[in-house]
Homo-oligomer: A and B are copies of this chain.
Amino acid sequence: MTVPGLLTFGETLAAFGTAEGKLRHASTVDVGLAGSESTVAIGVARLGVEAAWAGRVGADEPGALVLARLREEGVDTSAAVTDHEAPTGLALKDFRSRDSPRVAYYRHGSAGSRLCPEDVCEDRIAAAGVLHLTGITPALSGTAAKAVLAAVEVANDEDVPVSFDLGYRQALWSPQDARETLLDLVTRADIVFARDDEARLLGFDGTPEELASSLSSLGPEEVVVRLGPRGAVAELHGSRYDVPSYPIRAIDSDGADDAFVAGYLADFLTEAPPERRVRTAAACRALALSVEGDWEGLPDREELTQLPRPR
């Protein structure tokens, strides 16, 4: 009765951060977690669709924290691997000034970056409704890059749709290093999410609509090009779709893109029609923007129904 769900993997970090102001002035910080893939998994689970997160955590308290918080949100963590050799990575967030957050990462040599092809569980992938990956993971380490490729190959073989969010992170690799890997993964994916600057990094040019067409021409049947506050354009199965914009006061942009992906994939998994997928995606993004934190604002189905009409 339940539809096959989302399977995703990547690195999730234990996160410490101020609610406002610089760390140096703080006497306490909030505890949470950070990771694009796990944010997507939480978002899908909140929308009532099964979601599983795989990845490595250390055999330590930050690792226990990551697993506990994901389970709390209803995300299946039974495919996660505990690494007894390396610690769980950390993220440290504070604010230079109001509305200008910054994050420092302590992930060098972390358990999460030691992901390797052996961690890829073929049965899990074969049973999934969609495999979601990001361009962050191949940038973490050589073995992590191999794990991503191995997973995509299994999914391709098993006819499991692959969703890929380019997620280019300047701090992790150079545009030159990233280009080939990201291009390869776009080619093998069925659903692709890219920011317009990421599409240009791959060598494409033109309007957002042209960027979406260019990415589609590489193979993926569903492509969304995100433009930040200016919205998004979607080319799905050869047709262009308007991505609506919701009149909501933006509070915190962290995690908004992951909310968009979560909304899209939850509707993809329940086979909603394309125009509803993009609407749900945009609505999730709007609601995530309206609440502080990476994942706190991810909505459930009931909240979606209470949004004002898009503009």
Interface residues of A (CB under 8 A from B): 14, 16, 20-31, 60-62, 64-65, 67-69, 71-74, 87, 90, 92, 94, 96-98, 100, 104, 106, 108-109, 249, 251, 287, 290-292, 296-297, 299, 303, 306
Closest to A58 in B: B104
Asked, given contacts A71-B72, A87-B104, A90-B90, whether A97 binds B291 with beta carbons under 8 Å apart, the answer is yes
Alpha-carbon gap, A291 to B100, bound state (A): 11
Q: By the criterion CB–CB under 8 Å, are B98 and A290 in contact?
A: yes
Alpha-carbon gap, A106 to B86, bound state (A): 11
Q: By the criterion CB–CB under 8 Å, are A96 and B306 in contact?
A: yes
CB distance from A216 to the nearest CB of B (A): 34
Alpha-carbon gap, A69 to B61, bound state (A): 17
CB distance from A63 to the nearest CB of B (A): 9
Q: By the criterion CB–CB under 8 Å, are A64 and B290 in contact?
A: no
Q: By the criterion CB–CB under 8 Å, are A106 and B87 in contact?
A: yes
Alpha-carbon gap, A28 to B249, bound state (A): 26
Q: By the criterion CB–CB under 8 Å, are A21 and B106 in contact?
A: no
Alpha-carbon gap, A30 to B22, bound state (A): 14
Q: By the criterion CB–CB under 8 Å, are B30 and A27 in contact?
A: yes
Copies of this chain: 6
Q: By the criterion CB–CB under 8 Å, are A64 and B24 in contact?
A: yes
Closest to A22 in B: B61
Query: Cβ of A60: which chain B residues have Cβ within 8 Å of it?
Result: 104
Query: Cβ of A71: which chain B residues have Cβ within 8 Å of it?
Result: 71-74
Q: By the criterion CB–CB under 8 Å, are A73 and B62 in contact?
A: no
Query: Cβ of A306: which chain B residues have Cβ within 8 Å of it?
Result: 96, 100
Alpha-carbon gap, A25 to B298, bound state (A): 12
Q: By the criterion CB–CB under 8 Å, are B27 and A31 in contact?
A: yes
Closest to A102 in B: B61
Q: Which of B29, B65, B87 contacts A31 (CB 8 A)?
A: B29
Query: Cβ of A27: which chain B residues have Cβ within 8 Å of it?
Result: 27, 30-31
Of the candidates A61, A87, A299, the one having the most CB atoms from chain B within 10 angstroms of its own CB is A61
Alpha-carbon gap, A98 to B65, bound state (A): 19
CB distance from A92 to the nearest CB of B (A): 7
